[in-house]
Chain A
Amino acid sequence: MNILKNKKAIIGISAAMVVFAAIIILITGFDGIDSDKIEGTEYAQLTYAPNVPQTIERDHPTKVIVKLETIQVTGRLADGVNYNFWTFGGKVPGEMIRVREGDEVEFHLENSPLCNVPHSIDLHAVSGPGGGAVASQTIPGHSSVFTFKAEHAGLYVYHCATQPVPLHIANGMYGLIYVQPKRNLPAADQEYYIMQSEFYTNGNYGDQGLQDFSLDKALAENPTYVVFNGAVGALTGDNAIHAKVGQTIRLFVGNIGPNLTSSFHIIGVVFNKVYLFGGTEVTQKNVQTVNIPAGGAAVVDFKVDVPGTFAIVDHSIFRAFNKGAVGSLVVTGEQNKDIFSGKQQDNLFYGSNLDKEVQTSTIQSVSDNSSSSGSIEDIIAAGKKVFSTTCFACHQLDAKGVPNLFPPLAGSDFLNANKERAIGIVLHGKNGPVTVNGKNFNNVMPPQPLNDDQIAAVLTYVYHSFGNSGKTVTKDEVAKIRSQKQVSLK
């Protein structure tokens, strides 16, 4: 039977062709078929966490030159805690690299003459011996060059792979390389780079001074620190990541371990799309927590519809609470009560029949290791840290509070009127109605588990900032009020 001679068949064919053309154009976005010829040469843009190199707009592969320097630096692991980091580019994690699928990457690894061990790089995106590690083995004061084809799109970890490999990783030598697919993922409004890792120190969490690597703890897989972006607090306070209500946020998340698998979670956020293991396909929609293996990665896309500060955690939660695995995403914009109402009712509750015992909580005093002496500037700086890790959650970073919920500390008549009362509230908490700058509040502030130094510092900081009266609070004044037991706060 001759199809072409039949009029109806021809109409059918034409209709199908139109439909297909439309579908293909829809899928490819008019890009047509990309060129696969390598044209031109450029230097890769490299960024330090949490920043991500800009989207590559090219529609063809090119030769990309990447230069990374390995260098050993002593830096901050936590407040008052230093560590001899081994790094790519002087920071932990190393610089993020972005290339496009099909690019020819000429990689220069330069080992600083100040280093005292050889280094190399194993890029998980590379197909070849050691992921480039054999070709890039480099003694201090030398540099190595090798070239690879970025064949496989996706998000990949890189790390040093010189013997003993676990030591090089534990000391900080890792980062992410993103091989952007030819057909890029849908555009996101904000992109950020987060890397989880562990540190093993001879001292305990928070022990002050320069800390040595502990082989015993590393072998026991019992880290002293689990952190985002190389240090406790490297993703909070001034280092928090930001977005606006309604924006699409894309996180490129890596986990190097060296031992632990991450249970990556953002409190109060559902990941709309997850590209599990850093691959290029959406593997799940609407995910709460993403597993990221050691030496693996994930890309997550989500939108936040209400303003606020959202905690980024490893939901293996002791790591977040006790070992440093916390970051902050600060979202600004208009409230949307349809999405989240805030607290609508606060009623008395006398306990169910199941409740027979009332547990009392005691105030735990934090060990006395924060900066106790020093100039007023030091005290204010220490106070700012306490404020931005503790108080800001309710009173906000600008200390203006939240209308109807948390009273302002900025230019607060209530605060400035009575210093002793303020000390008492931080020490013992506050429950019930209060009027601040003519506005009424009725809420609960829990007692703060801070030591005398910290309370003195944070109150001095608040009094010296936000248009307040400039009072200074001393450690002795706090100690005196602490010893008075519960005075009348009402």
Chain B
Amino acid sequence: MNFRILNIVILIFAITAGSLAQFKSELEIHSKKILISCGYYVPLFKDDGESSKFFVKSFYLDSKPVSNGEFLEFVKAKPQWRKSKVKRIFADANYLRKWKGDLQLGKDVKAEDPVCNVSWFAANAYCRWAGKRLPTVNEWEYAYSKNFFNHKNELNSGNSFYEWTFDFNRINFQASSVCGGAGASANDPKNYSAFLRFSFRNSLKANYCLNDLGFSCVADSNKIPSEVIYSENY
């Protein structure tokens, strides 16, 4: 009798633990979506010499960059994005460079880590396959300024992680990324980390696949929160 109860208890415990573990590993590979409430964002560069601000609508942001595990599901479903199948015009030869094969990550690539060495075309295709889209630069920078990303660009450390944005080379493309006097055209000339991201984006082409470059997806939200989390006196 006692044994039977004990067995049942053990069984229940095992099932719970197993499913919890299953749930946990799912969580590690898959991100949750976070609601980024609407608000104002001051871009790095002034608009035609004028200080400017953008109203960013509410949107859902992935809680973390797309992982290798998630991207693997994508290439399983879409063979044309596999390592050996992808066309060079969509992704250069560094595409998924660290992966072992079309459908194998290899032992050095963790499923829960952010996927890197993916082109803009591939990132964009993934987001659309997942029913989402790439964030705009304004959305990305707005979320970054609200500390919704856990990765930071340190000014001279060895670790940096960048993310694709939908319009990565469109914001202020007439401003050269190499002009020394660019400080004068910036809303905050001391925001060196934003300058780094700006010049990085401006040096990209859409088929580049780089070691430190991944992406997060966003989705539109119709929710208008009762309280605006970000308000400034403009």
Task: Mark A residues whose CB is within 8 Å of B.
Answer: 72, 74, 83-84, 86, 113, 116-118, 120, 122, 130, 133-134, 137-142, 161-165, 167, 171, 212-213, 215, 219
Contact = CB atoms under 8 A, between A and B. Distances in A.
B210 A139 contact: yes
17 contacts: A83-B156, A117-B199, A117-B200, A137-B199, A137-B202, A140-B210, A140-B211, A141-B94, A161-B180, A164-B183, A164-B196, A165-B182, A167-B192, A167-B195, A171-B156, A212-B156, A215-B190
B105 interface: no
A134 B196 contact: no
What interface size band does chain B fall in? 20 to 34
Contacts of A171: 156
B178 A165 contact: yes
A167 B196 contact: yes
For the residues of A in contact with B, the DSSP-based class is: loop
Interface string B140-171: 00000000000000111111100000000000
B208 to A, nearest CB: 6
B88 to A, nearest CB: 15
Given A84-B158, A162-B199, A212-B155, A137 B177 contact: yes
Given A83-B156, A163-B178, A167-B155, 13 more contacts: A74-B158, A133-B178, A137-B177, A137-B202, A141-B210, A141-B211, A161-B179, A163-B179, A163-B199, A164-B182, A164-B195, A164-B199, A215-B190
A138 B203 CA distance: 7
Contacts of A139: 200, 203-204, 208, 210
A137 B203 CA distance: 7
B198 A163 contact: yes
Contacts of B212: 116, 140
A163 to B, nearest CB: 4
A145 B72 CA distance: 36
A469 to B, nearest CB: 47
A74 B160 CA distance: 15
Interface in B62-96: 94
A165 B180 contact: yes
Contact of A134 (B178, B182, B199): B178
A113 B182 CA distance: 27
A161 to B, nearest CB: 5
**Which 5 A-B pairs rank lowest in CB-CB distance, beginning with the nearest?**
A164-B195, A163-B199, A118-B203, A133-B178, A116-B160
B176 interface: yes
A138 B211 CA distance: 14
Interface in B194-232: 195-196, 198-200, 202-204, 208, 210-212
Contacts of A142: 208
A472 B141 CA distance: 61
A120 B155 contact: no
Given A162-B199, A163-B182, A215-B190, A117 B177 contact: no
B196 to A, nearest CB: 6
A137 B178 contact: yes
Nearest to A120: B178
Interface string B179-192: 11011000000101
Nearest to A215: B192
Among A86, A118, A162, A163, residue most surrounded by chain B Cβ atoms (within 10 Å): A163
Contact of A113 (B158, B160, B177, B211): B211
Contacts of B202: 137, 163
B156 A116 contact: no
A164 B197 CA distance: 9
Given A167-B192, A171-B156, A118 B180 contact: no
B211 A163 contact: no
Contacts of B178: 120, 122, 130, 133-134, 137, 161-163, 165
Nearest to A114: B211
A214 to B, nearest CB: 9
Nearest to B117: A141
B157 to A, nearest CB: 6
Contacts of A72: 158
A122 B195 CA distance: 18
A140 B198 CA distance: 15
A134 B176 contact: yes
B83 to A, nearest CB: 17
Contacts of A86: 156
B45 to A, nearest CB: 11
Nearest to B178: A133
A189 B50 CA distance: 58
A134 B199 CA distance: 12
A175 B156 CA distance: 19
A215 B155 CA distance: 9
Contacts of A213: 155-156
